Amino acid sequence: MSTLAHFAEVVDEAARTATAIPQFTESGPLGVEDAYAVQALSMERRFARGEKLAGVKMGLTSRAKMIQVGVNEVIWGRLTDAMRLEEGGALSKKRYVHPRIEPELAFLMKRELCGTVSPAEALAAVEAIAPAMEIIDSRYRDFKFALPDVIADNSSSSGFVVGPWGRPDQDFSNLGIVVEVNGRVVQIGSTAAILGHPLRSLVAAARAAASIGGLKPGWIVLAGGATAAHPLSVGESVRTSVQNLGSVSIKVAE
């Protein structure tokens, strides 16, 4: 088995069994391109178990997120149908190592989008937008990683929940965001924190997804956390409200 396939098995098993692992970069260098190859190979293992590709997530598209994890590059990962959680439902904390949640904006694609596109072309390919949250769960010990580690680990993506879909022909460049935990505000922000405009994240997603044939109709694209992520504890109810778009919530069970 090649080293990359071995890394893919290790990170896939860590995710499947909710077990923390040491960073790959602690034992030797790993290039960014190879890290994306590990991500692809580890996701292939999930697809072999029956999961279906459902879209992509962009990561580290805001300053708050870059600062929280100490990595300053935009990254991307794959979303599967099995990662989607029911809006208003519960997640089981024991299925994760050390889950965090972050407020995001979701795009639903109506047309294919691939490679270098303008913001206008990107918008024309969008069916709807929605308030959303991503559950991230680094498989690395202490949630610490370098850029190649996090890429290999599907950019920490573990779950996502999407709120009500709304029309994309409204101004979503600077909408207020509030994250509440058991009714207490823990984060406030704006969609403008996402690369200045969430549409820029979709443009970046189209470029990134060129390596897998582009974004497909029906896919969901998560634009990236607009604020720092909140570490989840059992008993918490988390709600993200986005101005004009509504809210999305999830509970944390054992």
Site pattern 151..190 for ligand OOG (x: CB under 6 A): ----xx----------------------------------
Number of CB atoms found within 10 A of residue 83's CB: 21
Of 128, 150, 131, whose CA–CA distance to 140 is shortest? 150
The distance of closest approach from Cβ of residue 136 to Mg ion in the complex, given in angstroms and rounded to an integer, is 6
Q: CA–CA separation, 80 vs 144, rounded Å? A: 24
DSSP-assigned beta bridge partners for residue 55: 79, 220
* Contact footprint for Mg ion (CB under 5 A): 134, 225
Rama region for 139: left / alpha / beta (φ>0; ψ in -120 to 50; rest): alpha
> 164: Cβ–Cβ under 8 A, 6 or more apart, which residues?
130, 131, 245, 246, 248
Q: Which is nearer to ligand OOG, 142 or 167 (CB)?
A: 142
Site residue total, ligand OOG (CB under 6 A): 15
Look at the block and give the residue holding tokens 């919530």.
249
Give, as ranges, the residues between 68 and 127 that touch ligand OOG (CB under 6 A): 69, 102
Q: Which of 5, 131 has the CB closer to ligand OOG?
A: 131
Residue 150: name its binding partner from ligand OOG, Mg ion, none (Cβ under 5 to 8 Å by kind).
ligand OOG
Nearer to ligand OOG, 19 or 169 (CB): 19
Residue 84 DSSP label: B
Q: Which of 101, 109, 136, 248 forms a contact with ligand OOG (CB under 6 A)?
A: 136
Q: Which residues bind ligand OOG (CB under 6 A)?
A: 57, 59-61, 65, 69, 102, 134, 136, 138, 150, 155-156, 224-225
